[in-house]
Every structure is written in C-alpha cells, then in structure tokens.
Amino acid sequence: MKVENGKVVTMHYTLKNDAGDVIDSSEGKEPMPFLQGHGNIIPGLETALEGSTVGDKLDVSVEPEEAYGLRLQDAIQEIPSSALQGVDNLTIGMQLQSQDEEGHPFVVTVTKIEDETITVDANHPLAGEILHFAVSIESIRDAQEEEISHGHVH
Ligand code: ZN
C-alpha cells in the first residue's frame, strides 16, 4: 500500500529550521496520523510523501510557499496598549486570540511591548521559514468513509 489520497498514514518526524534547530518531533510519542490528500499536513510535505510506503525514510526540505507561507509585513501591527488592558501579564511571545472584520478568529503573537503601543504579529510562527523534515512512514491504511467526508483521521 502506498501513501495516496484517501489513505490514513502515521509517521514519525523531526522538524528542523534552516539553522538546524529542532522545532518539533514525534520522538517519544505516538507516530502522527494524517489523512493524505486533505491538507492535514503542509502542502510541500504532502506532495513529497505521495507514493511512499511503510518503512520509507525521507528527508524533505520545504520552501515557505509550500509550508506556512511568506512572512507578511502587513500582518504586523502596532496597537494601543489600552486595547489590551484586560490581559494579565502580557509578555513577548504570548499568543492572543483576535478577530477579523468578519468575526473569524485568528491568533497573533506579541512581539514588542512599549508604554503606549504593543506590536502584534499575525504571521504563523513558522512563516518565511524553510523547513527540513526527517520522516519515517510507520503505517498506511484505507480511510473510512466518515473520515474522508470529515477530512481528518478518527
Ligand atoms: Zn470527524
């Protein structure tokens, strides 16, 4: 059986940034499950894993455009600190829930704190990064109909 659209795959992975720092890893945990072909994992990794089989080990480098996108200057905003007066112990790196004009929630990260203004960044923390994955395919099975209709693994 191969990794293809409609298969539930589990993988062990280690993710490093371009500087070689480990950002995330499944080591010591259960392998991570995902439904291939449904955007459960970043597009560049999904493409690279297509057609692989159990036991395959792959090293995959993914450009930002195929990962978490480019870092957008427009996504960085200064807001008056009075707007966040209800937030206790505001610290750099803290993530806050915000809403766009249509009421959709999104997450911003606090990147700068000054007396009058606070800078928040709505870019994904890994936006603009080239990502390096070491992956091993642990299992592959057919997805159930319900999993396909939901677009995720049960
Ligand atoms: Zn579901």
pLDDT tens digits along 67-117: 999 999 999 999 998 888 888 889 999 999 888 788 888 889 999 999 899
CA of 74 to the centre of ligand 1 (A): 34
Answer whether residue 2 is part of any domain.
Answer: no
Question: Can you give the pTM of this predicted structure?
Answer: 0.80
Whether residue 92 sits in one domain with residue 136: no
Name the percent of the chain lying above pLDDT 90: 84
CA of 10 to the centre of ligand 1 (A): 17
Q: How many CB atoms lie within 10 A of CB 12?
A: 17
CA of 46 to the centre of ligand 1 (A): 20
pLDDT of residue 103: 86
- The DSSP call for residue 37 is T
Domain count, the chain: 2
End-to-end CA distance of the chain: 20
pLDDT band per the 50, 70, 90 thresholds, residue 19: very high
Answer whether residue 138 is part of any domain.
Answer: yes
Whether residue 64 sits in one domain with residue 31: yes
Domain span at residue 146?
A: 7-68+126-150
